[in-house]
């Protein structure tokens, strides 16, 4: 037990430390505070805290100190290494009254030791792990620290260790948070949309024009071309970025469910409506609603959507009350909406409302010059951790990537690179790692392909038959070498 004269101090100190746990979240400041409290409570004149550190030569580093000059501290830390080791090893406090005579100091005559009257060195324990130690000493009073002080010192050390772990956890969470946020920013910024082909420049140009207005934008394009990516980038770079971006997939749910999902419902509006529920339009208030596969909306929902666009109003299912919502609407479709209007399945007036500005995402095969950049971008994303030795692509692999037709567009390319990063044996991705279908075996009579694609398949097949000999291939196909060169260049490099 603490002696009577330290008892009130001890309790104060403990409650101080408990308070510190909740108030200091920076590990360095926390350790300084803990040291100060412990020294005050025990009347120590000097002290330092050290933490185990695998990187350090001694296995620990001093993280806080009081009343030492740098030189004194260096000397003392060196001299007391074996005391510290013992404390860290045994997990028990060590009290020393005669430093000079204590053989843990190796009989050193050091003046540093001559001055010290008493020392207390206590372990910082976390569960059963020793994470460091607090060292306190007195230059004036022999036997300043006694066995009676030990329970108190131990309690301080325990509190300090917990506080420290909290602070470190908090720091790493904050760091992680910061990284996630910049990552998010990166993901939603234009930076994340890769491409500098003419077709993509045009997309970026339109995007930057619509950022700060509320015009509706219809994003058309094949599957996997980046329609959602563009919608997010418009939202997160625009003036509504601090309000929600809500993406709604119009193609999957039943009409009733989708309606309640979009507009919300009143309790009891239908079986299963056990409480009032807000719809996604209300959730997105102030922000952006992204209607994905908007062409799949039923005619009833097309009408409700038109009301949102015209009046800025919604009605929850089962309610007569009208609610105002302020949302920007972006939409996307794989099937050109114009076609749906022509065949009568999409309201023309709604089409014009959604389509104030339209962006058409180019299929990847029309911007093949972007393929190497995209491939490297995805490699950066996936060649991490145990795969981080992968540095790039072999020239043949890039060639194969440029030749492939990419029916699944950028999404297919992304999946291909992710898989290749797993399959690659060396530090460059080889053509085989990509597992792309052999171009020369593609059927030129496959239904649904264009004449251009059929031509490409015939040429590549012949090239393969002729062992990549250009003159021979040109002769077999009865075309000029120039024509052949031009075509090959087109398929591999420029945007065909």
Give the residues lining the site for Mg ion (CB under 5 A): 228
* 153 contacts 123 by C-beta, under 8 angstroms: no
**Residue 401 in the binding site for ligand ATP (CB under 6 A):** no
Q: Which stretch binds ligand ATP (CB under 6 A): 155-163, 223-231, 255-263, 340-348?
A: 223-231
Which CB atom, from 224 or from 279, has the smaller least distance to ligand ATP? 224
- The only residue of 95, 139, 193, 269 in contact with ligand ATP, by rule CB under 6 A: 193
Which CB atom, from 401 or from 459, has the smaller least distance to ligand ATP? 401
Q: Which two tokens stand for residue 275?
A: 């409480």
Q: How many residues bind ligand ATP (CB under 6 A)?
A: 16
Concatenated DSSP letters of 474-487:
HHHHT--HHHHHHH
**Residue 86 in the binding site for ligand ATP (CB under 6 A):** no
- SS3 per residue for 358-389: EEECCCHHHCHHHHHHHHHHHHHHHCCHHHCC
* 34 contacts 156 by C-beta, under 8 angstroms: yes
Q: Which stretch binds ligand ATP (CB under 6 A): 102-110, 135-143, 157-165, 408-416?
A: 408-416
Which CB atom, from 39 or from 231, has the smaller least distance to ligand ATP? 231
| Least Å from the CB of residue 68 to ligand ATP | 55
Which CB atom, from 228 or from 396, has the smaller least distance to Mg ion? 228
Give the span between the Cα atoms of 49 and 64, in whole angstroms: 5
> How far from 209 is each of 146, 205, 327, 360, 468, CA to CA, in Å?
76, 6, 19, 15, 46
> Which residue is associated with the tokens 């087109």?
490
The 10 Å Cβ neighbour count of residue 433 is: 23
Which CB atom, from 138 or from 225, has the smaller least distance to Mg ion? 225
Non-local (6+) Cβ contacts of 389 within 8 A are 383, 427
Which CB atom, from 98 or from 228, has the smaller least distance to Mg ion? 228
Q: Which two tokens stand for residue 265?
A: 């419902």
Q: Which two tokens stand for residue 262?
A: 């979009």
> Which residue is associated with the tokens 């529920």?
277
| Least Å from the CB of residue 203 to ligand ATP | 8
Q: Which residue is at the shortest CB distance from ligand ATP?
A: 226
| Least Å from the CB of residue 297 to Mg ion | 15
Helices and strands per DSSP (H, E), number in the chain: 19, 16
| Least Å from the CB of residue 363 to ligand ATP | 10
> Angle, nearest 10°, between helix axes 451-465 and 481-492?
110
**Residue 442 in the binding site for ligand ATP (CB under 6 A):** no
| Least Å from the CB of residue 371 to ligand ATP | 11
Concatenated DSSP letters of 172-213:
HHHHHHHHHHHHHHHHHSGGGS---SHHHHHHHHHHHHHTTS
The item of ligand ATP, Mg ion, none sharing an interface with residue 411, based on CB under 5 to 8 Å by kind, is ligand ATP
Give the span between the Cα atoms of 359 and 147, in whole angstroms: 79
- The only residue of 123, 224, 264, 363 in contact with ligand ATP, by rule CB under 6 A: 224
Q: Which residue is at the shortest CB distance from Mg ion?
A: 228
- The only residue of 414, 429, 436, 463 in contact with ligand ATP, by rule CB under 6 A: 414
- The only residue of 228, 313, 394, 495 in contact with ligand ATP, by rule CB under 6 A: 228
The item of ligand ATP, Mg ion, none sharing an interface with residue 454, based on CB under 5 to 8 Å by kind, is none
| Least Å from the CB of residue 206 to ligand ATP | 14
Which CB atom, from 193 or from 273, has the smaller least distance to ligand ATP? 193
| Least Å from the CB of residue 405 to ligand ATP | 17
> What's the burial of 424, exposed, middle or buried (CB within 10 Å: 0-12/13-18/19+)?
buried
Which CB atom, from 265 or from 367, has the smaller least distance to ligand ATP? 367
- Encoded one letter per residue, x for contact with ligand ATP by CB under 6 A and - for no contact, window 316-345 reads ------------------x-----------
Q: Which stretch binds ligand ATP (CB under 6 A): 21-29, 59-67, 407-415, 420-428?
A: 407-415
Give the span between the Cα atoms of 44 and 36, in whole angstroms: 9
Instruction: For residue 132, give the 3-state DSSP assignment.
Output: strand
| Least Å from the CB of residue 385 to ligand ATP | 19
Give the span between the Cα atoms of 150 and 156, in whole angstroms: 10
| Least Å from the CB of residue 319 to Mg ion | 31
Give one word for 462, left, alpha or beta, with left for phi > 0 and alpha for psi -120 to 50: alpha
**Residue 221 in the binding site for ligand ATP (CB under 6 A):** yes
Residues that bind ligand ATP (CB under 6 A): 193-195, 221, 223-229, 334, 374, 410-411, 414
């Amino acid at each position: 037990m603490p002696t009577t004269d330290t008892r009130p101090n001890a309790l104060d100190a403990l409650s101080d430390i408990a308070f510190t746990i909740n108030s200091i979240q920076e590990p360095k400041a926390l350790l300084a505070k803990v040291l100060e409290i412990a020294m005050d409570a025990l009347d120590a004149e000097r002290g330092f805290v050290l933490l185990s550190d695998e990187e350090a030569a001694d296995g620990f580093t001093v993280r806080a100190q009081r009343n030492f000059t740098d030189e004194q501290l260096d000397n003392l830390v060196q001299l007391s290494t074996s005391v510290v080791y013992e404390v860290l090893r045994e997990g028990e406090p060590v009290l020393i009254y005669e430093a000079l005579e204590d053989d843990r100091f190796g009989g050193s005559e050091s003046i540093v030791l001559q001055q010290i009257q008493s020392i207390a060195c206590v372990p910082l324990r976390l569960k059963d792990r020793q994470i460091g130690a607090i060292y306190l000493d007195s230059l004036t009073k022999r036997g300043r620290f006694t066995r009676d002080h030990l329970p108190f010192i131990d309690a301080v050390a325990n509190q300090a260790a917990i506080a420290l772990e909290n602070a470190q956890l908090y720091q790493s969470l904050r760091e992680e948070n910061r990284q996630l946020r910049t990552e998010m920013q990166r993901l939603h910024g234009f930076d994340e949309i890769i491409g500098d082909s003419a077709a993509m420049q045009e997309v970026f140009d339109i995007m930057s024009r619509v950022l700060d207005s509320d015009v509706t934008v219809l994003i058309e394009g094949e599957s996997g071309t980046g329609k959602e990516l563009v919608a997010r980038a418009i939202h997160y770079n625009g003036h509504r970025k601090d309000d929600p971006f809500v993406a709604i997939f119009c193609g999957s749910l039943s009409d009733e469910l989708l309606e309640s999902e979009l507009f919300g419902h009143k309790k009891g509006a239908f079986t299963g409506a056990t409480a009032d529920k807000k719809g996604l339009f209300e959730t997105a208030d102030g922000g952006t609603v992204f209607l994905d596969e908007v062409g799949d909306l039923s005619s009833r929902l097309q009408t409700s959507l038109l009301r949102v666009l015209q009046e800025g109003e919604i009605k929850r299912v089962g309610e007569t009350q009208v609610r105002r919502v302020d949302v920007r609407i972006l939409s996307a479709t794989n099937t050109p909406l114009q076609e749906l209007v022509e065949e009568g399945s999409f309201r023309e007036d709604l089409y014009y409302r959604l389509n104030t500005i339209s962006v058409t995402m180019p299929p990847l095969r029309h911007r093949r010059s972007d393929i190497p950049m995209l491939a490297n971008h995805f490699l950066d994303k996936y060649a991490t951790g145990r795969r981080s030795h992968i540095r790039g692509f072999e020239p043949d692999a890039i060639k194969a990537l440029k030749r492939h037709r990419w029916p699944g567009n950028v999404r297919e390319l992304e999946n291909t690179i992710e898989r290749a990063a797993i399959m690659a044996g060396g530090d460059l991705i080889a053509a085989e790692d990509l597992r792309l279908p052999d171009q020369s075996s593609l059927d030129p009579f496959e239904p649904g392909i264009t004449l251009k694609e059929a031509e490409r398949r015939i040429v590549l097949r012949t090239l393969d038959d002729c062992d990549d000999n250009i003159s021979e291939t040109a002769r077999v196909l009865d075309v000029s070498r120039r024509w052949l060169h031009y075509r090959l260049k087109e398929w591999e490099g420029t945007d065909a």
